[in-house]
């Protein structure tokens, strides 16, 4: 029973790690994009990815204004420097969350391995007729 619970916990932690990793990747791409925008001037032509290896050619209206999502469907306008700070703070928080989830996963995996070793020892003893 405990092994099943531990395996379910490990699966849930792995899913959490995957989601956090996807968010870290997303924010890292946003940071790289802002780094690139920082070097551009107003009315510069850019290619904006729209998915499926497809892009739109656009002109940069104001390289210092960034609309940044705050969560729960709320977005606000920030200047470029403020947006970079906000994304850096999110990235730091996500990395803390990732480290915590990985530590928890490691602990659960160790408990699973210990439980399996005990089970194998008991099965071996039972096969050999030892109490």
d(CA 56, CA 46): 8
DSSP annotation string for 21-43 = HHHHHHHHHHHHHHHHHHT--TT
Give me the phi and psi of 62, to 5 degrees please: -150, 105
CB 101 within 8 A of CB 91: no
> Would you call 128 exposed, middle or buried from its count of C-beta atoms within 10 A (0-12, 13-18, 19+)?
exposed
3-state secondary structure of 28: helix
pLDDT for 127 = 81
pLDDT for 60 = 92
CATH classification at residue 114: 1.10.287.370
Structure tokens at 75: 């977005």
Q: What is the pTM of this model?
A: 0.78
The pLDDT averaged over each successive group of 10 residues in the chain (131 residues) is 86 96 94 90 89 93 90 93 95 96 94 86 78 59
Structurally, how many domains does the chain consist of? 1
pLDDT for 71 = 85
Domain encompassing residue 42: 2-127
d(CA 20, CA 101): 9
Q: Give Cβ neighbours of residue 101 (< 8 Å, ≥ 6 apart).
A: 13, 16, 17, 20
């Amino acid at each position: 029973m405990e092994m099943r619970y531990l395996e379910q916990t490990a699966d849930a932690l792995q899913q959490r790690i995957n989601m956090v990793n996807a968010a870290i990747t997303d924010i890292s791409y946003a940071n790289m994009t802002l780094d690139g925008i920082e070097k551009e001037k107003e009315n510069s032509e850019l290619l904006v990815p729209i998915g499926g290896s497809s892009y739109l050619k656009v002109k940069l209206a104001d390289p210092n204004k960034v609309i940044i999502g705050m969560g729960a469907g709320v977005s606000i306008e920030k200047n470029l420097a403020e947006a970079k700070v906000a994304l850096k703070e999110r990235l730091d928080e996500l990395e803390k969350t990732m480290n915590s989830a990985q530590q928890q996963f490691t602990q659960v995996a160790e408990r699973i391995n210990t439980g399996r070793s005990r089970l194998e020892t008991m099965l071996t003893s039972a096969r050999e007729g030892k109490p």
